[in-house]
Amino acid sequence: MNTADQYLKAIYLVQRMENGPASTGALADRLDVSPASVNEMIGKLQDRGLADHEKYKGVSLTDEGIEQAREALQTYCIIERFLHNVLEVEEFPSEAKALESVIDETVAERLDTIIDREPQCPDCFDAEADMCAELVGEGEAD
Amino acid sequence: MTVNDRVSTDNQLARLLQIGIVLEEVVEVRAARHYETLSADERDADVEELLDEAREESADHRRRLEALIDQLDAEAVPLEEIQRLVEARYAQTGPEGFDGILYDQLHGEETAYKFYDDLIEAIEASDTDYALDREELLATLKAIREEEADGVEEVTKFMERRA
């Protein structure tokens, strides 16, 4: 998953939690990067028609951005579930975050063929716990 | 954890190599299952050879990845469990028809190629000292990546000949 997709996923989840635009600070906290880095990436996402940034309010995803964010979230959910269910990794949330930049969507789709994922994925993703809702209680959130 | 983190520990590297093993297992099992699902008029020496080669090559890649994991300072790997899981999953499913078989084979090799390509890039971008020899690691992964690229080319040509 590339960096832009990681940002889209974070914006999508923060928007869902805050029920409105995602603030730069909340995104910086969630991604553990500087607010300057967040602003830079938001500018790029805006240029690509994936997000809208309104001063003092925050960033919202466009329809296209939402679609891409949901795909990224689904890829991430597959990685978490694969680490947990197949490789039996205890600290799967932190390991999934460490590996997500190396795992492409097509690779995740292949891994998806050997895990049982809920049809409502990624709607059931737990944004607060930052992990697949099916796995909440089994892994330590960051 | 920051975005774009690269492969910075033995454990992370071991996980990624395990993912490579799973991708190889899938190709291996599917190649074997595919041949079994062919009808009599779809079977011939060329198809058999193609699927046999794919299966043997994946088994060889899997062994080479296992040898790399053995050298890492990482948690135990439940390889038998992975084999059992992949086998069980594909014992009941198969692609529809001959075109599906070749397409599936092609997709499996393309996916593996993409994975090794990304993994090599991530390792090259990291300055971590792993418990195994970095040159050996990269040389092995690059050799496997090239074989996957050859596999993609071979299946593509095969499909063109059959078209």
ipTM greater than 0.95: no
Distance from CA of A61 to the nearest CA of B (A): 19
What pLDDT is stored for residue A45 in this prediction?
97
For residue B1, name the pLDDT band (cuts at 50, 70, 90).
very low
Q: Which residue of chain B has the CA closest to A37?
A: B3
User: Is pLDDT of B95 > 70?
Assistant: no
User: Is pLDDT of A132 > 90?
Assistant: no
Mean pLDDT computed over B141-146: 98
Q: Do A106 and B111 touch (CB under 8 A)?
A: yes
DSSP-derived secondary structure letter, A136: B
Share of chain B above pLDDT 90, in %: 42
What pLDDT is stored for residue A106 in this prediction?
92
Measured distance CA(B61)–CA(B118) in Å, rounded:
17
Measured distance CA(A118)–CA(A111) in Å, rounded:
15
User: Is pLDDT of A50 > 80?
Assistant: yes
CA distances in angstroms from A5 to A2, A68, A92, B51, B126, listed in the order given? 5, 7, 20, 36, 21
Residues on B contacting A at a C-beta cutoff of 8 Å:
1-9, 11-12, 15-16, 18-19, 22-23, 26, 75, 77-78, 81-82, 85-86, 89, 108, 110-111, 114-115, 118-119, 122
Q: A-chain residues within 8 Å CB-CB of B119?
A: 102
Q: Which tops the pLDDT comparison, B76 or A122?
A: A122
Supply the pTM of this predicted model: 0.88
Q: B-chain residues within 8 Å CB-CB of A113?
A: 26, 89
User: Is pLDDT of B34 > 60?
Assistant: yes
